[in-house]
Amino acid sequence: MSARHFITVALLASAACSAPAMADTLRDALVSAYETNPNLTAARAGQRATNEAVPLAKANGRPDITVQPTYVENVLQDSGASVVQARGVSINGTISAPLYAGGGIKNAVRAAENRVEAGFANLRGTESAIFSAVVGAYMDVIRDESIVDLNRAQVGVLSVNLDATRDRFEIGDLTRTDVAQSEARLALATSNLETARANLIRSKEIYIQLVGREPGELQAPPPLPNLPATADSAVTVALESNPDLIAARESREAARFDRRAANASRLPTVSVFTSPSYSNALRSISSNIPGFQADNSSLNAQAGVRATLPLYQGGQPAAQIRQAQARLGQAQELEIAAEREAIAQTRASYASWKAALEVIAASERAVSANELSLEGTRAENSVGNRTILDILNAEQELLNSKVQLVAARRNAYVAGFSLLAAMGKAEARDLGLEGGTLYDPVADYQKVDGAWNDWSSQPDPVAKSTRTVDTQAQKAEIEPISTGGRTR
């Protein structure tokens, strides 16, 4: 089974059985989170902000054009002057473009591009982390619903046992101790049921927080695809695809270009420029000189090449270089830390997944054995070879093994998905979420990569995530349970 068809399996499986009208699949939950989870939509907005660092860096290598119009009204003039001007307007312009900047612009652009790549990887990591949380919440609801059902059934069984024990006490077949033991076990089971209900409510609320809507009747998830055969093979994939590790590598490359850009601060720079200017006296020049004719306008222009050679800057360039070197060293160390973490997460998730599979197998055997044990204990009690306490213990052991089996199935699935996430194979592009157009961060980047227009703009953003303030407070309702002639 390919990873892209992972979620599609759920649809095929659900079509083969009679699903409730309001049933939710794991794919439904993942699609909803992908489209409306605020942490994910915020990460996309943050990536778009990171994209803009590239055109900002490129702008430093493009021409700079300025115009400075000025209007002057001469309100006070020398009365003895032979020529006076009452007013005037001037327009001064400057056009400059860098020819050489010591490599600072080029390296700053490349650093920004690497940070965009790191942002892409970080966005993948956010997506993977949210999907892992959704899978965990989805499986928590399924687990806790099963545990509530098991505890409710246990309360029902112990209620029947208590009624039977009281009846046998009335006829002298059992003692008051047997009745007290049955009452104590029923009270304990009732408290466990309330705890299980509280846990279910908590799981549902976390589901709402992540998915953005209340859980319906959740269907069993599909099998996980392409799980590795060994921990070493999983690590091999993770070293190539883990998004956190990729982000650390790109950040290290960005820091390397920052180091090169810092060196430019003490190198010469060369630029070309032109400075046209125009002035007009608006026919306001007057003179007491006979025959004087004023020239009311003038046009001048200069053009040239300007070189700047820094001689001393107070030690600033050296400090900038040392700072960039330190940050490069930091990025190198963080890359190794990310590699360590990816390896540890992958191996730990693999071990947890394999262990959970073994727990499932052992718990299934335990459930089967405890069912036989309970049946035998009840039969032996009927002939006087077993006490009521023996029955109560057998019932508790059966419940414990069933709860352990439910928890192990949840743990195995979540650990398996966490393993895929650590390998970098648990994102929308891997899971086949074809419910709508997938977000393409590269397309957003390409829109601004070559942007040069000062007046291009976009509409202000509108929140894309959904609020959960209108959802209902979750409940864990159960059917009434009859206990000793009373209704709980």
Distances (CA, A) of 108 to 32, 53, 56, 105: 39, 9, 10, 5
Q: How high is the pLDDT of residue 23?
A: 62
Distances (CA, A) of 417 to 268, 358, 413: 55, 17, 6
Poorest-confidence range of 194-198, 292-296, 380-384?
292-296
Q: What is the pLDDT of residues 340-349, one digit of tens each?
A: 999 999 999 9
Q: Is 85 helix (H, G, I), strand (E, B) or coil?
A: strand
**Residue 72 — φ and ψ, nearest 5°?**
-125, 135
Q: Which residue type sits at 320?
A: Q
Q: Please tell me which of 18-22, 32-36, 230-234, 390-394 the model is most confident about, judged by mean pLDDT.
A: 230-234
Query: Is residue 479 over pLDDT 80?
Result: no
Specify whether the CB–CB gap between 94 and 275 falls below 8 A: yes
Query: Is residue 6 over pLDDT 50?
Result: no
The mean per-residue pLDDT over the stretch 413-433 comes to 90
Specify whether the CB–CB gap between 276 and 248 falls below 8 A: no
Query: Is residue 488 over pLDDT 80?
Result: no
Query: Is residue 285 over pLDDT 80?
Result: no
How many other C-beta atoms can be found within 10 angstroms of the C-beta atom of residue 304? Answer: 9
Query: Is residue 228 over pLDDT 80?
Result: yes
Query: Is residue 427 over pLDDT 90?
Result: no
State in Å, rounded, how far the first CA of the chain is from the last one.
48
Q: How high is the pLDDT of residue 288?
A: 64
The mean per-residue pLDDT over the stretch 146-164 comes to 93
How many other C-beta atoms can be found within 10 angstroms of the C-beta atom of residue 162? Answer: 21
Query: Is residue 220 over pLDDT 90?
Result: yes
Q: Is 312 helix (H, G, I), strand (E, B) or coil?
A: coil
Query: Is residue 466 over pLDDT 60?
Result: yes
305 burial type by CB count under 10 A (0-12 exposed, 13-18 middle, 19+ buried): exposed
316 vs 318: CA distance, rounded Å: 6
Q: How high is the pLDDT of residue 320?
A: 95
Q: Express as a percent the part of the chain with pLDDT over 70.
A: 90
Q: Express as a percent the part of the chain with pLDDT over 90.
A: 72
The mean per-residue pLDDT over the stretch 425-452 comes to 83
The mean per-residue pLDDT over the stretch 169-180 comes to 90
32 vs 74: CA distance, rounded Å: 69
Specify whether the CB–CB gap between 170 and 437 falls below 8 A: no
User: 3-state SS of the chain: helix, strand, coil percent to 5?
Assistant: 60, 10, 25
Q: Please tell me which of 284-293, 300-309, 428-437 the model is most confident about, judged by mean pLDDT.
A: 300-309
**pLDDT confidence bin for 197, thresholds 50/70/90:** very high
Which helix (DSSP H) or strand (DSSP E) does residue 350 occupy? helix 316-382
The mean per-residue pLDDT over the stretch 400-414 comes to 96
Q: How high is the pLDDT of residue 22?
A: 53
Q: What is the pLDDT of residues 349-362, one digit of tens each?
A: 999 999 999 999 99
Q: How high is the pLDDT of residue 480?
A: 61
Query: Is residue 27 over pLDDT 60?
Result: yes
The mean per-residue pLDDT over the stretch 205-223 comes to 94
57 vs 98: CA distance, rounded Å: 13
378 burial type by CB count under 10 A (0-12 exposed, 13-18 middle, 19+ buried): middle
String of DSSP letters for 238-262: HHHH-HHHHHHHHHHHHHHHHHHHH
Q: How high is the pLDDT of residue 16?
A: 36
Q: If DSSP states are collapsed to H, E and C, what string results for 353-418?
A: HHHHHHHHHHHHHHHHHHHHHHHHHHHHHHCCCCCHHHHHHHHHHHHHHHHHHHHHHHHHHHHHHH
Q: What is the pLDDT of residues 100-153, one digit of tens each?
A: 999 999 999 999 999 999 999 999 999 999 999 999 999 999 999 999 999 999
Query: Is residue 486 over pLDDT 60?
Result: no
Q: What is the pLDDT of residues 296-307, one digit of tens each?
A: 888 999 999 999
Q: How high is the pLDDT of residue 235?
A: 97
Poorest-confidence range of 52-56, 75-79, 191-195, 464-468?
75-79
**pLDDT confidence bin for 3, thresholds 50/70/90:** very low
* DSSP state for residue 213 in the 8-state scheme: S
Q: How high is the pLDDT of residue 483?
A: 45
Query: Is residue 99 over pLDDT 80?
Result: yes
Specify whether the CB–CB gap between 107 and 80 falls below 8 A: no
Residues 6+ apart with CB under 8 A from 282: 87, 88, 89, 296
Q: Which residues on adjacent β-strands are paired with residue 303?
A: 274
- 3-61+105-262+322-487: CATH superfamily: Outer membrane efflux proteins (OEP) (1.20.1600.10)
